[in-house]
Amino acid sequence: MQFSINADHPALSGHFPGNPIVPGVVMQDHILAAVTVAFPAYQVVGIRKLKFLRRLLPQQTCDVQFGAIQLSEMYDGRLRFECLQAGERIAEGNLLLETSV
């Protein structure tokens, strides 16, 4: 799933005025929304790891990619993701999922 943040997004005005970058929390919101679309039978119940490796600028396209959901009787489902911009990894992490009831 891909997303981009418009240059007029309200979070950008206070995030380095004159040289805006997309705040991590805005990227996080889009990552979580992508999970909902890609895996409708699951809900995110935690973030095990979320690491921002490079910045994302307004208008740049970010591609969210997911690994396989790993389930076990003893542990929550784990979902690995990475975010790419122009083929370069800019964020990565692991989410904890549960099946939706």
Residue 4 pLDDT: 97
* Residues with pLDDT less than 50, the chain: none
pLDDT tens, residue by residue, 58-85: 999 999 999 988 776 556 689 999 999 9
User: Do the bridges between strand 61-66 and strand 88-99 make them parallel or antiparallel, or are there none, so unpaired?
Assistant: unpaired
pTM of the model: 0.90
H helix runs in the chain, sequence order: 24-38
CATH of domain 2-99: 3.10.129.10
Residue 58 pLDDT: 96
CA distance 30 to 84: 13
Number of Cα atoms under 13 Å in the Cβ half of residue 72: 7
> Domain segments of the chain: what residues?
2-99
